[in-house]
Amino acid sequence: MIDKLVKTILHRPFFIFSFLALFVFLGINAYFKLDKKLFPNSNRPEIAVVIVKPSASAQDMATDVATVVEKELYTIDYVRRVYSSTIDEVSVIRVEFNYEKDINDAANDVANALDKIRSQLPKDIQEPQINKITAATAPIITLGVSSENLTLIDLRELIETNIQEEFLKLDGIANVDIFGGYKKEIQIVFDINKLNSLNLNLNEVINIIDSNNKDFSIGNIESNSSKILLKSTNKKLYINELENLLIAPNIRLKDIAKIDFNHFSNSAIYRGNGKDSIALAIQRNLNTDVVKTIETVENKLKVLKEQYPYLNFEITDTQKTTIIQSNENMIESLRDAIIMSTLVVFLFLASIRQIFIVLFTIPIVYFSTIALMWLFGLEFNIITLTGVILALGLLLDDTVVVVENIQRHYEQFHEDMEEAVQNGTSEIMFADFSGTLTTMIALFPILFVGDYPQTIFGPLITTLLLALTASYFVSITFVPLISKKVLALDFKWIIYIEKQFKKISDFINRIFVAFFIEAFKNALKSKLVLFSYIFTLLALFVVSAKVVMPLVGQELMPAMDTGAVKIKVATTPNISIKETKNILQKIEKISYETAQVDTISASIGSEAGVLTLGSGGGINDILITVNYINRFERDETIWEIEEKLKKEISKIKGIKTLEISDAGATAMASIKANIDVTLYGEDFKKLYEKALKYEEAMKNTRGIVTASKSWHMDSKIYKLNIDTQKALEYGISNEYLVNSLQSILRGGIISSYKRKNETPLPIRILVENSQINTPKKIENMLIHTPKMSIPLSAIAKIETVKQPNIITRENLYYTIDIFGFRQNQSISKLMDNFEKASQNIILPNDIKMKHTGDIEQFEDSSKRIIKSVAIGLVLIFLVMVPMFESLKIPLVIIFSIPLTIAGASWILLLLDYHSSMSAMVGFILLAGVIVNNAILLIHFASQKLKIGTCSKEAMIESIKVRTRPVLMTAISVSVGMIPVAFGWAIGMERLAPLGAVVIGGLIVGTFLTLLFIPLLFVWIVKK
């Protein structure tokens, strides 16, 4: 059957060439069409609900809003967790779903859940905002806009009315958030003393302004021939009309208040590249290409710079730089891998003609793989491009064993070229197919393990499976066809060069063959030698498992140096936003002095509804993203830069907490820190007391470079204690008193101001700040009651209390998180160190503790990977049984897999890598490759058995023939993995342990395979 298939292929060359040419054409086309990203999205579907209630305290928002919403959200299918963060006036409730939940279905379910409980929520909340948190949530590019000619008030207004919409019109743009600066409005600032002297109630004045600054539709005047609307137009079009608005007889608004264009108290500041700016955070549509969309924005930016020459547009953060750099590095790594692997193949084959075949084959397989990636909806990113590099070794394996076998038939058996191609391909096709199939089977279960491993490594495995398919097809079609022509070349200079190199190659090969044959014979002759082999192997296993692996340690995914540093600062509580800004500017200066900066994006505070920028806290919270030049252009690692930053920034006065981490500190955006200890409870005070102890333990944990907690119990507030009985005696309720004070202290939007062809400006009422800027002045303020005007102190007192600066909740409990960030220490060792540091902390029954950092995800993911390994082994065994028509031979082949463990573990220790998801996937890939080598040995020996050769002689013959291709495959695959193992591309550090495991496991495993598999084969066949 195999002979017929090979004959059919050899007699249909034009069909084969045309078919492959089609895929090459598709591959070239796909290369330019495939989307480019840094990593595939690994975050679970998430919905964020933003609810705003003006004038509400954080505690009231948490109790009346967050708690109610959280309970209802837990009733939705596939919910993994619900958590929230609340500050004054704003609560953000997030619901995270399992991977199988569609994001659109999730958004609809959340909207329906909110509709069900709308009546249970406070009536004065603003309409809840429902935001999908996806891979497209993070802005693809952030622009900082500044001007020397415009104030930040006018600049923001210009951006909101003209510039924002220019970007929203672009293809691929989903949203543009504006952050920072000031929102323009008309302010009516009352003099409370004048109001009191004229016996005017502020609330009554507000009602008069509101009712007299509206247009009314009164009704229709109808006749037999017409119907005309009667309107009352009271809306004021000019400031002077507002100023002259009558409040009472002979009293106009200007007599008791100042009216002017201004802005409200600022709760958010943005600085881009060291300048006061307005930020434009631009988000893409979920299915659009990141790089192409950014380039569209950049082209529009050129137009806007010409259109607005008085504005300074700067890119303050962009995903494009890292993606382009990473993709270029990956292509360069692929180039280097091809060169190194090809040189190794040449050293073993000593044949320029065979190398020509390999070089012809590589682009065909790669373009075919890229074509298949395009057809299967994949994209270019670190994961898939690593798959492309990994496929190189497998491609060489398929191609080389076919070419080498054809050459052997041509030279050793002296067959003519046609016959050598026919017989050589037929002889190796089964072993080649078996090796390819077992490798695919070993990898296949990862596509179905679920959750994080499937999400992050699914594209890698899919790419490898597609490459293996393309590689095998090319090796049994194109390679035999081209071999007929290339191997038959008879140029004297080529033959001469090949003969000279072949002497060296054959000499080296003879050494290896002689060594393994002699080792094989000695073990069969002497039990002492055999037991020494077994003892050495067992000792190697024990040391690797009991000594080396604990030293290696474990982690979810390795850290990576993308050049981005996150600096999160909480300043001394209750300082002004101006002081916070001064601290921010000092941090910026240090950042610029530490290393060469590309861009800086810095924010203070937050704006309601804006999730793309801001610290998520109040005016005492700073968040800075510093993008340094890439690691290939600087001398220091990002972790060395972080140490310098920490040392200098910590010297700045006014900083309460400092958290510095690299952008790749955690594998998932939902993981807040490498170690995240979450405390759950109902009592803020108890939670905070225990959090302080855990934070101290975190700081004392060896390997932790930054420790912090999610909130602080030091935000000072003034609490109004109302004497309800006295208030009732004066004829007022608590609600009336609170509303009166809110009007005075917080003001509010009471109306709007029309502008021609522009968005109306809000009209805000305020009281002169100098009259209400101390508790004493508030207590002396007159309150109008039905009986008389009384000072507030007659019915209420003000006291100072402390509360959390932000309220966090999860699983229907109040929470506080204690964060710990590392550099390169393994998570398992960090956890051991932390357990020792915190062993004396005892929690009361009403407080629960959970580790929610890397370790939680690692434990779940490792179980899934181990499960996939077990399934893969079973499938390999079941597939090989009918192939070899034996139960014993598949067991011998599978025995080669554990032989790789020692090399894999030792190389991790040597390179200071940790056992991670990448390393585990590397072991699975390694299992497929090493099994292929075992199949090559055993298949050849099995063929010899069929013609009557004894098992010992059959295996000796197999060692003689198969040692060269086995070693060549192992070394060429290992050399091809060097760019991966040493992280020669931005972001490839995440997958470096994968390459390392394959290199170490393959080199040691191949040596042990050639040593032990022949012995096992002989024993089993004898039995």
Q: What percent of the chain has pLDDT over 70?
A: 96
Whether pLDDT at 973 is above 80 = yes
Q: What is the mean pLDDT of the chain?
A: 88
Q: How far apart are CA 785 and CA 872, in angstroms?
A: 81
For residues 682, 685, 686, 691, the Cα torsion angle rounded to the nearest 10 degrees is: 110
- What does the pLDDT average to over 643-669? 87
Looking up tokens 């299992």 gives 927
The structure tokens listed for 886 are: 């034996």
Higher pLDDT, 220 or 934: 934
Could you count the other beta carbons within 10 Å of the beta carbon of residue 758? 10
How many CA atoms lie less than 13 Å away from 302 in the CB half-sphere?
A: 5
Backbone angles phi and psi of 223, in degrees to 5: -135, 180
How many CA atoms lie less than 13 Å away from 399 in the CB half-sphere?
A: 34
- What does the pLDDT average to over 720-740? 87
What confidence score (pLDDT) does residue 7 get? 77
User: Where in the chain is CATH 3.30.70.1430?
Assistant: 561-663
User: Where in the chain is CATH 1.20.1640.10?
Assistant: 1-33+350-489
The enclosing H or E element of 528 equals helix 527-543
How many CA atoms lie less than 13 Å away from 75 in the CB half-sphere?
A: 12
Residues with Cβ within 8 Å of residue 754, at least 6 apart in sequence? 235, 236, 237, 760
Least confident of 57-71, 336-350, 403-417, 672-686: 403-417
Closest alpha carbon to 133 in 856, 668, 860: 668
Q: How far apart are CA 838 and CA 7, in angstroms?
A: 72
Q: Helix/strand/coil (H, E, C) string of 313-350? A: EEEEEECHHHHHHHHHHHHHHHHHHHHHHHHHHHHHHC
Residues with Cβ within 8 Å of residue 873, at least 6 apart in sequence? 442, 894, 897, 927
What confidence score (pLDDT) does residue 886 get? 85
- What does the pLDDT average to over 85-111? 92
User: Any idea how long the chain is?
Assistant: 1023
User: What value does the CA radius of gyration of the chain take, rounded to a whole number of Å?
Assistant: 36
Whether pLDDT at 13 is above 90 = no
Backbone angles phi and psi of 597, in degrees to 5: -95, 140
Higher pLDDT, 499 or 374: 374
Could you count the other beta carbons within 10 Å of the beta carbon of residue 480? 25
| Amino acid in the structure at residue 380 | F
pLDDT in tens, 546-564: 999 999 999 998 888 889 9
Whether pLDDT at 192 is above 90 = no
Q: What percent of the chain has pLDDT over 90?
A: 44
Least confident of 354-363, 611-620, 906-915: 611-620
pLDDT in tens, 127-157: 999 999 888 888 999 999 999 989 888 899 8
What confidence score (pLDDT) does residue 564 get? 93
Whether pLDDT at 241 is above 80 = no
What confidence score (pLDDT) does residue 98 get? 93
Looking up tokens 């016996």 gives 199
Q: How far apart are CA 65 and CA 52, in angstroms?
A: 9
What confidence score (pLDDT) does residue 214 get? 62
Higher pLDDT, 372 or 262: 372
* DSSP 3-state of 173: strand
* DSSP 3-state of 781: coil
DSSP 688-745: HHHHHHHHHHHHTSTTEEEEEES--S-EEEEEEEE-HHHHHHTT--HHHHHHHHHHHH
User: Where in the chain is CATH 3.30.2090.10?
Assistant: 184-264+721-803
488 to 407, 544, 828: CA distances (angstroms): 10, 49, 58
Q: How far apart are CA 422 and CA 407, in angstroms?
A: 11
Backbone angles phi and psi of 180, in degrees to 5: 95, 175
pLDDT in tens, 829-861: 999 999 999 999 999 999 999 998 888 889 999
What confidence score (pLDDT) does residue 54 get? 79
Q: How far apart are CA 813 and CA 798, in angstroms?
A: 30
Determine the number of helices (DSSP H) and then strands (DSSP E) in the chain.
34, 31
How many CA atoms lie less than 13 Å away from 106 in the CB half-sphere?
A: 26
- What does the pLDDT average to over 290-295? 93
Closest alpha carbon to 892 in 907, 908, 877, 913: 877
pLDDT band at residue 217 using 50, 70 and 90 as cut-offs = low
Higher pLDDT, 294 or 401: 294
- What does the pLDDT average to over 725-742? 86
* Helices within 595-671 (DSSP H only): 638-649
Whether pLDDT at 390 is above 70 = yes
CATH 3.40.50.2300 holds for 1-33+350-489: no
Q: How far apart are CA 590 and CA 607, in angstroms?
A: 27
Q: How far is CA 851 from the centre of its chain?
A: 20
Whether pLDDT at 225 is above 70 = no
pLDDT band at residue 219 using 50, 70 and 90 as cut-offs = low
String of b and e for 498-517 (b: at least 16 CB within 10 Å)? Answer: beebbeebeeebeebbeebb
Bridge partners (DSSP) of residue 831 are none
Whether pLDDT at 1023 is above 50 = no
Could you count the other beta carbons within 10 Å of the beta carbon of residue 552? 27
As to burial, measured by CB atoms within 10 angstroms (0-12 exposed, 13-18 middle, 19+ buried), residue 416 is exposed
pLDDT in tens, 306-322: 999 999 999 999 999 99
- The CATH architecture that domain 184-264+721-803 belongs to is 2-Layer Sandwich (3.30)
- Spell out the CATH class of 561-663: alpha beta
